[in-house]
């Protein structure tokens, strides 16, 4: 995703990188669990992090997938004794900067440019969440799958001769976690898409061969990439 030099990520990175140590994390590292007391805000410098929840019945739901140059703030800021709303786990090797909650809140409170950039970031995050809810409510499980495939194209898509390669490995179960559906439902929908030559799937990577079909099925509004992604 393209960012201006005035983004909240850029401001935080410029201010804190010279004083805070970069941490290198292995794939599968848990940054925090749901309901943990908030200690840190994270700058994701490289790698991929999943944010989600585990339902009381054990079902894992991935709410968003963040890649490099992302800010991870998953709590109510300026609240006393806040708790994280979701879990955060690295999907591959990552580099991060961990800022204490106090460092982060003091920075945005005392720097007007940072506050303006943070409000802009929050506004975009709100729109992204609203659009995801709209897709699931209006289009059901199958439409939710189509929407996620479109979003994955926007975030990880690479144009090839065969279509748009989603350069991010995903199992059927992980895709089900992203669409809040069951693996069985997702597998049936994916089989139908393969039979209609809309997608292909090799080595855990999807290629979208007919993006127009997916967009027409969900009445796609062609939102800008910073809104229509899995982050």
Q: Where are the domains of the chain?
A: 8-110, 135-217
Domains 8-110 and 135-217 share a fold: no
Q: Which two tokens stand for residue 68?
A: 């490099």
Q: Is the pLDDT of residue 178 over 90?
A: no
Confidence of residue 128 (pLDDT cuts 50, 70, 90): confident
Asked if 90 contacts 29 with a C-beta cutoff of 8 angstroms, the reply is: yes
> If you average pLDDT over residues 98-119, what whole number do you get?
95
pLDDT band at 163 (very low <50, low <70, confident <90, very high): very high
For 24-33, 38-47, 94-103, 137-146, which range has the lowest pLDDT when averaged over its residues? 137-146
From the CB of residue 74, how many other CB atoms can be counted at a distance below 10 Å?
20
Assessment of whether the complete model's pTM goes beyond 0.85: no
Q: What is the mean pLDDT of residues 167-190?
A: 87
Instruction: State the pLDDT at residue 3.
Output: 40
157-160 β-sheet, strand order: 157-160, 163-166, 205-208, 199-202
Amino acid 195: pLDDT: 94
CATH superfamily assigned to domain 8-110 = Jelly Rolls (2.60.120.10)
Asked if pLDDT for residue 181 goes beyond 80, the answer is: no
Q: 135-217, which class in CATH?
A: mainly alpha
Q: How many CB atoms are located within 10 Å of the residue 128 CB?
A: 19
Q: Percentage of residues in the chain with pLDDT exceeding 70?
A: 97
**In what helix (H) or strand (E) does residue 53 lie, and over which residues does it extend?**
strand 49-54
pLDDT, average across residues 158-165: 93
The structure tokens listed for 3 are 């960012």
Other CB atoms within a 10 A radius of the CB of residue 36 amount to 14
Q: Residues 170-202, buried b or exposed e (16+ Cβ, 10 A)?
A: beeebbbbbbbbeeeebeebbeebeeeebbebe
């Amino acid at each position: 995703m393209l960012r201006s030099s005035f983004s909240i990520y850029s401001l935080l990175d410029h201010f804190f990188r010279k004083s805070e140590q970069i941490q290198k994390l292995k794939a599968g590292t848990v940054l925090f669990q749901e309901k943990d007391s908030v200690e840190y805000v994270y700058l994701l410098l490289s790698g991929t992090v999943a944010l989600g929840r585990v339902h009381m019945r054990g079902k894992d739901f991935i709410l968003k997938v963040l890649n490099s140059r992302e800010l991870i703030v998953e709590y109510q800021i300026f609240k006393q004794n806040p708790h994280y709303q979701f879990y955060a786990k690295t999907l591959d090797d990552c580099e991060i900067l961990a800022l204490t909650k106090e460092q982060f809140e003091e920075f945005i409170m005392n720097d007007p440019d940072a506050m303006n950039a943070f409000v802009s970031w929050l506004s975009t995050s709100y729109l992204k969440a609203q659009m995801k809810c709209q897709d699931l409510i209006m289009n059901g499980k199958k439409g939710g799958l189509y929407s996620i495939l479109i979003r994955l194209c926007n975030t990880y898509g690479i144009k090839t001769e065969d279509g748009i390669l989603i350069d991010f490995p995903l199992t059927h179960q992980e895709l089900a976690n992203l669409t809040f559906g069951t693996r069985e439902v997702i597998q049936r929908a994916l089989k139908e898409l393969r039979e209609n030559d809309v997608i292909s799937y090799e080595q855990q990577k999807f290629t979208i061969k007919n993006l127009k079909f997916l967009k027409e099925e969900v009445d796609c509004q062609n939102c800008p990439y910073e809104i229509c992604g899995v982050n």
